Structure 1
Amino acid sequence: MPKKELLKKFAKLSVEIGANVQKNQVVWVSSSTDNNELARLVVEAAYEAGAKSVLVNWFDDYVTKSGYVHQSIETLQEIPEWLIGKYQQFIDDGGCIINISSPVPGLNADVDSKKLQANSIARSKAFKFYQNHMMGNKAQWTIIAAPNPVWAKRVFPELEEADAIEKLWDAILQASRVTEDNDPVQEWNDHNKRLLSHNKVLNDHQFKELHFTNRLGTDLHVELVPHHIWAGGGENSTSGVYFNPNIPTEENFTMPNKFGVNGKVVATKPLNYQGKLVEDFWFEFNDGKVVNYDAKKELGALKNLIEYDEGSSYLGEVALISYDSPINNSGILFYNTLFDENASCHLALGRAYPMNVQGGTEMSEEELIQAGSNQSMAHVDFMFGSSDMNIVGIKQDGTKVQIFEKGDFVI
């Protein structure tokens, strides 16, 4: 475990830069039972920032797995009204949320995929109102991470458990720009300025299409919606509060046209989906839709994702990250999308963020669909960046502009 002062810095960062907790605001903290010390520090930091009240939603992936194993599919599809009411109360209270991510890679490898899918779809339907609220930036939210023994050993299998946990803590804090001798809040303010400068360059071009190629077999054309907005780093809630959804983050991302994606993309990192680790996979798209795919490991989990709903076989996000990035340069495969997506260009199957098109956060679902936005109950990122990634932007008049060369921004 890192020194308490470092964890306090991390907790303060999640409150002030992550969720940007406002005076007299209700705060939810979501945390694994493995990470109670960090959760307590986040609670304390939230109160110090002026929170009205702080509620901790504890979770335990092993308890959740027991439910998958022993409950019937019918029971797993039952979402109690009191739980739905709890999330509605969060919205009514104008709350913000701090998630402490601590995944257990592959935990559900031996669980019936039909049960996982049934429960996930039932929850997505029941909490669609909450997803609309959060993805529409109606509230501030942020995700940070903390280790658990299984995750640490997966990342550092050559180390003893205690050493693996310590090393993963070091990697998380380093990637999150938290060190003993720095001011992480100031460092993040500077980092956001750099990401915003990339956003401006990309927004000024208003590319019609992006063309991705590399030696692994990716040859993908991604059309962007008209009046798209590149975002990255901090974002503004609809009430005007600036916050950082992901700590860490290195991405600049925008909205693909739902029906404008064609070609093949080859993933470069594993995907931890529904507790199953999907490895060595690829997709082929035609007019936006996944028409062919394969994986060497956990193909069934990939099938569950593609068949989740109508929109889960279309893209909702395209994100650019230089191969020469702090997380990628660490040489660590985190088996966690929060980190791995920030080491590599990535795409997301499923719902698009309304903020990525002009006026999107004020649009109805029907208006977003007309704008070219994909709608889905899913939003799952997968990584496809590489050291030889080549990206060409094609403008409305057909002019071609080199965006990436050999994996890095050149624009």
Structure 2
Amino acid sequence: MTPPARLGDNIAAVDTPALVIDLDAMERNLARMATFARNHRVRLRPHAKMHKSAELARLQMAHGAVGVCVQKTAEAEALAAGGVNNIYISNEVIAPAKLARVAALALRLQHDGGQLAIAVDSEHGIAALADAMHHAHGAHIDVFIDVDIGHGRCGVPPGDPALALARAIAPHRTLRLVGLHAYHGAAQHQRDSGTRQATLARSAQMVRETRDLLIRHGFGPLLVTGAGTGTYALETASGLWGELQTGSYLFMDADYASNQHTADPPAFEHALFVKAQVVSRQGDRAVCDAGHKSHAIDSGLPTVWAPAGLTFANGGDEHGVLRAATPATPLPAIGDTVWLIPGHCDPTVNLHDWLVGVRGGLQQGFVERLIRVDARGALT
């Protein structure tokens, strides 16, 4: 697909609807998280399912990240093709055809001096993974045991079930147990900071007991990986997690901005915007050209960044309906630009082929980077 802008274009020339990165804001977010991880002596492994871009993954690694996470085999393949050589598939992969691809990718990264890791939560998955790795002839893979610490999605219960998986991994020479995957996705979006703190305290107890149990039985040392943009400071403060999987911090979206924060972690700025244009004005409403095909709505509709004082309502696949929040707020005119903050950045990025990187702000900036969304639609 043709990108919605050309390098050097003034921001006014960016076609709509387009997904735009404020590079100055993004780089401040990048530096703040890198500094936090360095100061607290934890590894940073950002979740690249958020931006799906090899270019941005390499940028994060250049700023100290040890590698990136993905959720899908196809995402891992796309990023590896773009030069990313340290990848963790933080999800269960069961299908034999997918596991053959996992094994082939592990061998390729190994030959290039990199490493592939994967999560498991069943003896079935371990046996299938070991079989695929055996047929890859010389490949090996790092394995994290996925432990359910309260989210109620994938992951074995803490304690003895995790120990049983460690024992199932041990006989396979191509599998190397390196740690526990402990991620509480639901906690990321608990608005009240006290509620999040209480949730993570319970999760930390599960992690501690499980880690200590495995170490007592000879499985160690173990790296605990997990955490997200909504809770990473809590995991770090526990002293248990050694690796952070934060993703959305790089762009920030309207959903994460709704969380109540403490004064301790760094504040992240909105850096991802949908540029839209007013195409109609009727009565009490203006209509822009950014509908659901340009932004995900699973975490709510976008909010209007500029012009100030406007609300965004559902206009369907191709349109957004803008209204004045107060009688004193003027509606934008036909042809005016409207800047939207997506409710959820991850699936919004997946709707676009390109990210337009703008330097100098959203008013007078210019296009400095055109970033391909390499893993768009990488669902398998």
Per the TM superposition, whether the score is higher than 0.5 is: no
Report TM bin, short chain. Answer: under 0.3
Larger RCO of the pair (alpha carbons < 8 Å, separation 6+): 2
Larger radius of gyration: 2
Give TM-score scaled by structure 2 length.
0.26
TM-score, length basis structure 1: 0.24
**Structure holding more helix per residue:** 1
